[in-house]
Structure formats: structure tokens, C-alpha cells
Amino acid sequence: MPDLLAHALMAYSLCTLLALRYEWLTARYVTVGMAGAFVPDLTKIALVVPAAQVRSLLGIPFDWGGLHTGGAAAVAVLVGTMVVRPGQRRRVTALLGVGALSHLLADALLLTPSGRSYAVLWPLTQYRPPTPGLYLSTSPVPTVLTAVLAAAVWYAVRYRPRQASAA
């Protein structure tokens, strides 16, 4: 995806649709899901602290790219879960996971020169699955499409007919 906005909008759409099924999934939990969509892009810390600087400081091989994998996202989700009250941890874990997973899956659809995605399931396997190559990472189309989808979901949920409660 070209930017974090597209990932956040996709997570918003997914979580808002899930809220139709799960009554406990309120607006603040939808926001948790959207925050989960940012987890794989923790690799952007490389813009502030280059991997070479960390390598020289620690004296071991290091690359921020490992944060953009399923294993690192799972660890980040578990760490993020620890900052909430114990009674809410299951829900927060699930929603952070939904957001992170949607991000990883969307990025696995990118068009790459090799025709292969990144090691999505690392550290379980180094396998790089083939990618359908639906879009370039520089394309604005995914952002526009996710914005339209999010607006449609917002409208449909906000203005859906309410069912009369049976008394």
C-alpha cells in the first residue's frame, strides 16, 4: 500500500463490518483495530535510526525489515496488549491482530520485480509466496479505493435501518 492512510481505512472498514456482528465492538475498539494496521510499518523507524547505526552500536547483524513480518507483528500485538486492563486484553489482541493482518495481507499483493512477496510468515518460514501483483507501492489507486470503501461502509452502517426490538 502506498501509505498508512490506506491501511488505516482498510482496518476501519473491516472492524466496522465486524461491529455489525459483535455488539461489544464499539467505536473505540474500531480505533484499536486501526492502530493495529500501523504495527507492520514500525519498520519506518529506519528513517530516524538507520539499521547501520544499530548494527554498529550492538555489534550484531540487524535490519529493521524484520518488523514487517508476521512474527514481529505478533510480538508487537502482544506487547501492545499488555498496556490495557486484563479484562480487555482478548478484545484488544484480536483487534490489533485484525489490523496488523490486514496490513500484511495488503502488502503481500504488491507488484514486485521478482514476482514474490516478502517472508510474511517469518520466523516460521523464509518462504516468499508468489504475489498477484495487483498494484505498485507508489500507486494512489489503493488509497482512493480504500477511502471509497470506508465511506461506503460508514454510510451503510450509520444509515442502516434499525430493527425493532421484540418485547
**pLDDT tens profile 11-59:** 999 999 999 999 999 999 999 999 999 999 999 999 999 999 999 999 9
Could you give the number of structural domains in the chain? 1
Residue 125 in domain? yes
* 74 pLDDT higher than 80: yes
Residue 167 in domain? no
* 162 pLDDT higher than 90: no
d(C-alpha 64, C-alpha 52), whole Å:
10
Give the DSSP letter of residue 128: -
27-36 and 70-81 helices, crossing angle to 10°: 140
pLDDT of residue 2: 58
Residue 141 in domain? yes
**Better-scored residue on pLDDT, 166 or 163:** 163
Q: What cell does 130 get?
A: 508468489
**Whole domain around residue 124: which residue ranges?**
4-158
DSSP lists the bridge partners of residue 130 as: 116
Residue 163 in domain? no
Residue 82 in domain? yes
pLDDT of residue 164: 55
Residue 165 in domain? no
Residue 35 in domain? yes
* 1 pLDDT higher than 60: no
Per residue in 81-132, pLDDT (tens digit) is 999 999 999 999 999 999 999 999 999 999 999 999 988 888 888 999 999 9
Residue 166 in domain? no
